[in-house]
Amino acid sequence: MDPLEQLDKATSRYRETEAAHDEARDAAIAAVLDALRAGRRPTDVVNRSPFTAAYVRRVARENGIGPARTRT
């Protein structure tokens, strides 16, 4: 196979998988936000998500979800 044809095929496959990854990330973010809005503990949400705690906090803030209240 011609090297440029190989490159065309590889590029096409890369773009397909990139789109699938973006869709999966968006679905995971939506699920994180739904869980936080439902009152789930942020620690539990982070532990079940593919994201770091810092990223979950950032996404929450960007979507109007404030810090979790501490229990006294």
pLDDT band at 67 (very low <50, low <70, confident <90, very high): confident
pTM as predicted: 0.82
How does pLDDT run across 10-19, given as a tens digit for each residue?
999 999 999 9
Query: What does the radius of gyration of the chain's CA atoms come to, in whole angstroms?
Result: 18
- At 72 the three-state DSSP class reads coil
The angle, 0 to 180 degrees and rounded to 10, between the axes of the packed helices 3-37 and 53-62 is 70
9: amino acid identity, one letter: K
